[in-house]
Amino acid sequence: MAKYIFVTGGVVSSLGKGLTSAALGCLLEARGLRVGIQKLDPYINVDPGTMSPYEHGEVYVTDDGAETDLDLGHYERFTNTPLNRLSNFTTGSIYNKVIRREREGGYLGKTVQVVPHITDEIKACVLKMAEQDLDVVITEIGGTVGDIESLPFLEAIRQFGLEQGRDRVMYMHLTLLPYLRAIGEVKTKPTQHSVGKLREIGILPDVLVYRTEVSVEESVRKKISLFCNIPLDAVFEEKDVDHSIYELPLVLQRQGVDDLVLKRLQLSPKKESDLSEWEALVEKIINQNPEDITIAIVGKYIELHDAYKSIYEALDHAGISASAKVRLKKIEAENVEQDGPDLYLKDVDAILVPGGFGSRGIEGMIAAAKYARENDIPYFGICLGLQIAVIEFARNKCRMKDANSTEFVPDCGVPVIGLMAEQEDVTDKGGTMRLGAYPCRITKGTLAYKCYGEEDIRERHRHRWELNNKYLEVLEANGMVPSGINPDSNLVEMVEIPEHPWFLGVQFHPEFKSKPIRPHGVFSSFVQAALSRKLRDKNPGPSDHASKISSENGE
């Protein structure tokens, strides 16, 4: 029978509850336990799929096609836990279910209320997660204690502890100790208030983790323990990490967080903790080669780092494994449109065009793809980035100047990117996309094959538009190769230009599957290509395209 850990946060938002939950999952997996992690989000949207990336950051997609909160990306990067639709629920999704059931007469004439009906539904989401043969379920509660929105979740997890038994359920609370520079002190008062707020609801945290800029003295920990009524050995410090978020599992393990959790939940570890892979990773990060490469990201949600979170992480993972520091040059596509690509792209080692929706900045991205193609700069197009590469190639190489996507110009003369089915009558904007993992068959001998090393792969999708197969012949005749095809639908999933040192477009999102200790092959190859270009520019010598490609792929 599974045990449960609920993670709440107080004082301020953006404390890193997601990271802490993920790191905790990592520690428990390192003890041989099967761990599941889920997030309960207090907003009313049924899922984040309809939110602007500016509001909410990237939408993280699971294999089974759920559009979820970006914290799930942390869960996957830190653990091997199976993520799916049970891993993320929102207030909206829970009310949606309850209201539907009410309409179907599922409540037998009763008055439907927050307690017990909404809280019962919340508890059911947690119990469902545990049905997946897990030893531990970690449930992160989004929002901050004290918010109106998260109250039903907190009430539900309080009831959960009562019903399941206190030895099977524990509560971890994460707070901030603000550091007042003028007096050189950290303050515990907001933490005390936050724990007080939880107690009002009936939750007494078993573990308190405080975030802090500076390491604090034992007397401060003692004060927190005393005032918050939490044993001293259950008060842990999460100081801002020195080098990388991937230090976090080690930081928590050094303080014995896993031992305390195992003891509190009476869980028997299946093995001694082994975090050697994480230790090696952190070692590598610290001793990274000073050689740095600059990768331009030409997109439309550039201002907000979280909007392309998984892409940045995947580049970071690839950089660590290549022993190169990846510097991101984030470029607003509209600026490239206005000022031309040279101004922004002449010094970069590689160009990446990420996913996106709508027509703003599209011509800037097309200009960036053209610049990369014509100047032999490694180009990586992800989802929209593939579509951009195809439009550019069709216009400038195949001489079809009206080539476009019907997303941007619905009645364009040459729709090289089009909708699979006419979906204008569909009003549920959340449900019209190709979502989740689809198979792709890769042609041997291509760059795509070099990246994956296998013919049959599965990657996650989130888009409506597709390459229009009607134009495949002309694209191929001019030197663009469809190197990955969906074997079921015949849709093109990957394109490349063999004449170019490194030019790849993928219709899916490989960034969702990259982990720090297992960097994704496409990102590794891309970063290697950038590094080779940089080194070649430093030490110019004769080379041809073929030898460039093979050296970039470590052959």
Q: Of 230 and 384, which has the nearer Cβ to ligand GLN?
A: 384
Strand partners of residue 443: none
CB-CB contact of 137 with 55 (8 Å): no
CB-CB contact of 141 with 153 (8 Å): yes
Q: Of 129 and 388, which has the nearer Cβ to ligand GLN?
A: 388
Q: Name the minimum Å distance from CB 307 to ligand GLN.
A: 12
Q: Of 406 and 443, which has the nearer Cβ to ligand GLN?
A: 406
CB-CB contact of 36 with 130 (8 Å): yes
Q: Name the minimum Å distance from CB 542 to ligand GLN.
A: 38
Q: Name the minimum Å distance from CB 526 to ligand GLN.
A: 17
Beta strands at 235-239 and 325-332: parallel, antiparallel or unpaired: unpaired
Q: Give the nearest residue (CB) to ligand GLN.
A: 355
Q: Classify the phi-psi angles of 554: left when phi > 0, otherwise alpha if psi is within -120 to 50, otherwise beta.
A: left
> Identity (one letter) of the amino acid at 272?
E
Count of CB atoms situated within 10 Å of the CB of 539: 6
Cis peptide before 53 (omega within 30 of 0): no
Q: Name the minimum Å distance from CB 59 to ligand GLN.
A: 9
Interacting residues with ligand GLN (CB under 6 A): 355-357, 383-384, 407, 462-465
C-alpha distances in angstroms, 487 versus 175, 494, 505? Answer: 49, 12, 18
H or E element at residue 23: helix 17-29
List CB contacts of 339: < 8 A, sequence separation 6 or more: none
Burial 479-518 (b: 16+ CB within 10 A, else e): ebbbbbbbeeeebbbbbbbeebbbbbbbbbbbbbbbbbee
Q: Which residues are catalytic?
A: 383, 509, 511
Q: Of 136 and 485, which has the nearer Cβ to ligand GLN?
A: 485
List CB contacts of 178: < 8 A, sequence separation 6 or more: 11, 186, 187, 190
Count of CB atoms situated within 10 Å of the CB of 373: 21
Q: Name the minimum Å distance from CB 120 to ligand GLN.
A: 36
SS3 label, residue 101: helix
Q: Of 161 and 355, which has the nearer Cβ to ligand GLN?
A: 355
Q: Of 133 and 428, which has the nearer Cβ to ligand GLN?
A: 428
Q: Of 380 and 465, which has the nearer Cβ to ligand GLN?
A: 465
